[in-house]
Amino acid sequence: MLTDVRAALDQIQSLRDVAVGKMDQLAVLDALWGDLVSQSGNPDHEEYAQHQHSLADCRRAIEELIQERLLDRGVRFPVGSLEHRLVDFPTTLDGRWVYLCWQADEPEVAYWHELNGGYTGRHLITAGDSHRLGRLDDPARDEDSALDF
């Protein structure tokens, strides 16, 4: 699964790079023309419209990748994590919900954190943790509303 997640993050990053280039071009045209660039008679209007269209295409493609290749597979993005290529995978530890935490530059999932712990609350997965992860030891706690986002 990490191979697929990494590939999706790579594609998202490539699309983000294209989008940044389009935004830079739009900023230049805006600096040159201001609101006049949006008028069809402007000599740079066609270029402006093409950059806007390409930017919208990038945004849609990123949203589809996030939804289909990540969220639909249970992968979670913490706030602000897209630029850091950081994702969480819900699981349980000792019967309570936690997140496995992984960055795309890490060779494997090696950290976990509490639901509200975030990146700074990461703990290295120990051998003892490995045996306790993914098990719902207490059926009364088999409730995942804390994972709603």
- Looking at residue 113, what is its pLDDT? 96
pLDDT tens track for 114-144 = 999 988 999 999 999 998 998 765 545 555 5
Provide the whole-model pTM. 0.80
Is the pLDDT assigned to residue 149 strictly greater than 70? no
Query: What is the identity of the amino acid at 104?
Result: A
Q: Which residue has tokens 């349980």?
A: 92
Percent of the chain with pLDDT over 90: 79
- Looking at residue 144, what is its pLDDT? 54
Is the pLDDT assigned to residue 148 strictly greater than 70? no
Dihedral sign, Cα of residue 115, residue 117, residue 119, residue 121: negative
pLDDT tens track for 86-109 = 999 999 999 999 999 999 999 999
Among 103, 104, 109, which residue's Cα sits nearest to residue 133?
A: 109
The per-residue b/e assignment along 7-19, b for 16 or more CB within 10 angstroms, e otherwise, is ebbeebeebeebb
Distance of CA 74 to the CA centre of its chain: 12
**Cα Rg, the chain, nearest whole Å:** 21
pLDDT tens track for 59-76 = 999 999 999 999 999 999
Q: How confident is the model at residue 79 (pLDDT cuts 50, 70, 90)?
A: confident
- Would you say how long the chain is, in residues? 149
pLDDT tens track for 15-55 = 999 999 999 999 999 999 999 999 999 999 999 999 999 99
